[in-house]
Structure 1
Amino acid sequence: MKTFIATLFFCTTILFSFSQTKTNLEDINKTWEKFYKAFETLDYTLMAEIHSKDLVRVSGGNRILDYDTYINNYKTGFERDKVAEQTSTISLRFFERINNDTNASERGIYKLVRNKGTDNEQVYYSQFHVLLKKSDGIWKITMDYDSSEGGTIGEEQYQNAFAINDFEKF
């Protein structure tokens, strides 16, 4: 009987210490809300807020950037887009969301629409993998990898992933 109780206690402790919660997903979505807002308003300071100073950014499988370079690229790009009156809207869908109270791994597909509803509308898709760390109650992106997988990511893959608020799937 003691062995059974010890095993039950051990399994329960392990289960709860590694389980993710809806609260964590909702809190992580606050980071994603700022991410969306950064693109909508072309505000690079929001990108700076949601990324860790220790960021590792892997782009398209061909280069690695640090925090300063990554944020400065957004500053330059967003300022250029403002002058050119370009617009951007980004949305995420997920096929994997794993978290505990301090770390999270999120994988999915993003859709970036530039100049939505105009003759110049352009749509881009990419698969992403992001690691986040919770520090002082705030989730920040510590690693961000994306790739179009050789141009094979599109609307079908995007629609097959789950919506950002579809917590039941995770």
Structure 2
Amino acid sequence: MIKRIILPLVFLVFTSTTMYAQKADNLKAINIVWAKFYKAFETLDYTLMADIHSKDLVRVSGGKRILDYDTYINNYKVGFESDKKAGQTSTISLRFFERISNEFTASERGIYKLVRNKGTDNEQAYYGQFHVVLKKINDEWKITMDYDSSESGTIDEDDYKKAFAIDDFDKFLN
């Protein structure tokens, strides 16, 4: 009788630990994508943006435009080159209120903060809400759908602070 109780409990403990570790592993692997995303803005390198997005990308901007991969990446190429010539700088950071993943697909929603010309008299901060769907393609996470919106300018620093830090995995583990 005790074996009938203990054996299922041991199985439950091992499978629960495996599921917990796997989800944390997914978030850590996805954060590699976000590290490249941050670096693309810091270095104004559009090739990093190209690397983290799927060729089948669907990009929705502010509910007003839908772009494909080539158009989206070319926009970054032109924009980053223009920023370099003008001496503009950009840093971006993300905070999350939802991170859901399995072995092959992830959905992440949160608030971004884009700071232009940080530490100068021309510093400006922009905020928006994002929703990204990633898929594991050839063992690498790639962004396949990217939606963002400023929600008509209603997203701000308070919303940003309410969301969770990119490395705060505990909030998103089962």
* TM-score using structure 2 length: 0.88
Give the Cα separation in 2 of the matches to 1:69 and 1:16: 43
SS in 2 for 1:83: helix
Q: What is the aligned-residue identity percentage?
A: 75
Give the Cα separation in 1 of the matches to 2:144 and 2:129: 17
Residue 168 of structure 1 is matched in structure 2 by 170
Residue 88 of structure 2 is matched in structure 1 by 86
Q: 1:103 to 1:16 in 2, by over 3 A?
A: farther
Give the Cα separation in 1 of the matches to 2:18 and 2:136: 15
Pairing 1:119-134 to 2, within 5 Å after superposition: 119-134=121-136
Deviations 1:22-58 (A, max 9, x none): 0000000000000000000000000000000000000
Give the Cα separation in 2 of the matches to 1:82 and 1:157: 30
Residue 147 of structure 1 is matched in structure 2 by 149
Aligned residues: 163
**Alignment check: 8 A CA contact 1:31 1:139 kept:** yes
- Shift, 1:18, TM fit: 8.2
Give the Cα separation in 2 of the matches to 1:28 and 1:72: 24
Could you tell me which runs of 5 or more consecutive residues in structure 2 were left unpaired when the two chains were aligned: none
Letter in 2 for 1:126: G
Give the Cα separation in 2 of the matches to 1:158 and 1:118: 22
Give the Cα separation in 1 of the matches to 2:158 and 2:138: 38
- Shift, 1:135, TM fit: 1.3
- Shift, 1:17, TM fit: 10
Equivalent in 65, 72, 75 of residue 74 of structure 2: 72
- Shift, 1:16, TM fit: 9.2
**Alignment check: 8 A CA contact 1:105 1:130 kept:** yes
- Shift, 1:137, TM fit: 1.5
Equivalent in 47, 56, 59 of residue 58 of structure 2: 56
- Shift, 1:136, TM fit: 1.6
Give the Cα separation in 2 of the matches to 1:136 and 1:164: 24
Q: 1:18 to 1:64 in 2, by over 3 A?
A: farther
Give the Cα separation in 1 of the matches to 2:45 and 2:19: 35
Give the Cα separation in 1 of the matches to 2:56 and 2:138: 15
SS in 2 for 1:78: helix
Residue 135 of structure 1 is matched in structure 2 by 137
Give the Cα separation in 2 of the matches to 1:137 and 1:76: 30
Residue 35 of structure 1 is matched in structure 2 by 37
**Alignment check: 8 A CA contact 1:126 1:146 kept:** yes
Give the Cα separation in 1 of the matches to 2:36 and 2:140: 12
